[in-house]
Structure 1
Amino acid sequence: MSAYLSHNVAVIASPHPASGLSKAVWTDADFMGMGWHDCRVHAISIGGYEDDTLPPGRLLLDLDYIVRWVEPSGEEFPFTHWISPATLVFERAWKITGQLEPTHEVLEIADMHRLDPPDDQPDARWHIEGHNFELSLRAHGYIQYLRLPPLHVARQVLTMVERGGISFAKQSFA
């Protein structure tokens, strides 16, 4: 979110007014206001750090984040969507487990849950339920970067050209 002065009054400008998007970087503090239902996952990376002093785990998802579902009005095509390519990052992730069903279909998130720690460790347990897959991990939280301004499309996914290909970039458009 950026601020600017209008007649000596500070005004907060939305990074993308047409879609209603209030900011381009989201964290686990925003969890209750976010939803990942039907967000397409294009790529998953489980990797380490170059610095051996840090914990080894990091989970990144390259996905199409549905910023807003637009209800049809009258004779229009059923739901349209404001979608932005995003990188969802769980830094210092550990106890990463998952399952991928034999499939020829794409990966879409059904829901993401934040669960209380089952032990005395402070990191939450995260569970990502998907169509044909699931992921579980422990991490303190996440950061999600919307890499490009949302596009208004008549489907629930962006094309590779619209999204700029596969990326795990940790940078937002605003």
Structure 2
Amino acid sequence: MSDSPSGLSKAVWTDADFPVMGWHDCRIHALSVAEDDDLPPARLLLDLDYIVRWVDPAPRQKYFTFWIAPATLVFEQTWDLTGDIGPLHGNLEIADLHRLDPPDERPYPLWHLEGHEFDLRFRARGFRQYLRTPPQHVDRQVLTMTERGGLGFAEQAFA
């Protein structure tokens, strides 16, 4: 995959990859708080369009293009979920994702999902992100529902 024009090196990412990842302007299409059969803790799942690569404008062009893949971002063992959503005048787009040191003696970090019109904070052991299809090269920062195959929380990568 590393020879791909998208620059993608793998289809499953974890919190170990956090320093080289970025979620700026990634669109969240759906959010779920789910519990496994062995209740709690919960899992926070996000169905999003992950921007794999921003492409500089071609000569005589003024706009970026993007390599984007539909992805499932799963935070494991999530608790203390707090935040605000809205008022929504558009869609949920991520501004940044921060991993902060634990504020107490509990071992898991505090995560801060900062959005343009929302703000979520929670504790979680870590995450996995699954790119569900190969990235597509498009001229906007979001895929259409047809391009992304609808909504989904599949925890399986395309490769």
Q: Which amino acid aligns with 1:23?
A: K
Change (3 A) 1:165 1:16: farther
Q: Counterparts of 2:84 and 2:151 in 1: how far apart (Å)?
A: 22
Asked if 1:19 corresponds to 2:6, the answer is yes
TM-score (norm 2): 0.96
Q: 1:36 aligns with which of 19, 23, 35?
A: 23
1:62 partner amino acid: D
2:104 is paired with a residue of what secondary structure? coil
Distance 2:102 2:16 in 1: 17
**Please, which moves more after superposition, 118-127 or 100-109?**
100-109
**TM-score, length of structure 1 as denominator length:** 0.88
Cα pair 1:77 1:154 within 8 Å, conserved: no
Distance (Å, rounded) in 2 between the aligned partners of 1:173 and 1:27? 16
Counterparts of residues 18-167 of structure 1 (less than 5 Å) = 18-52=5-39, 55-167=40-152
Deviation of residue 77 (structure 1)? 4.9
Provide the C-alpha distance between the structure 1 equivalents of 2:84 and 2:92, rounded to a whole number of angstroms: 12
Shift of 1:140: 1.3
Gaps of 5+ in 1: 1-13
C-alpha contact 1:16 1:149 (8 A) present in aligned 2: no
Are the aligned partners of 1:16 and 1:150 in contact in 2 as well (CA < 8 Å)? no
Q: Does the 8 A contact of 1:67 with 1:82 survive in 2?
A: yes
Structure 2 unaligned blocks of 5 or more: none
Q: 2:2 and 2:133 mapped to 1: Cα distance?
A: 11
Determine the C-alpha separation between the residues in 2 that align with 1:39 and 1:16.
24
2-structure distance, mates of 1:118, 1:69: 34
Task: Return closer, same or farther for 1:152/1:77 CA change in 2, 3 Å cut-off.
Answer: farther
Which entry has the higher C-alpha Rg, 1 or 2? 1
Amino acid at match of 2:32: S
How far is 1:101 from its partner? 1.4
Question: What CA distance in whole angstroms lies between the structure 2 residues aligned with 1:89 and 1:132?
Answer: 21
Segments of 4+ moved more than 3 angstroms: none
What SS does the aligned partner of 1:109 have?
strand
Deviates more, 1:155-164 or 1:95-104: 95-104
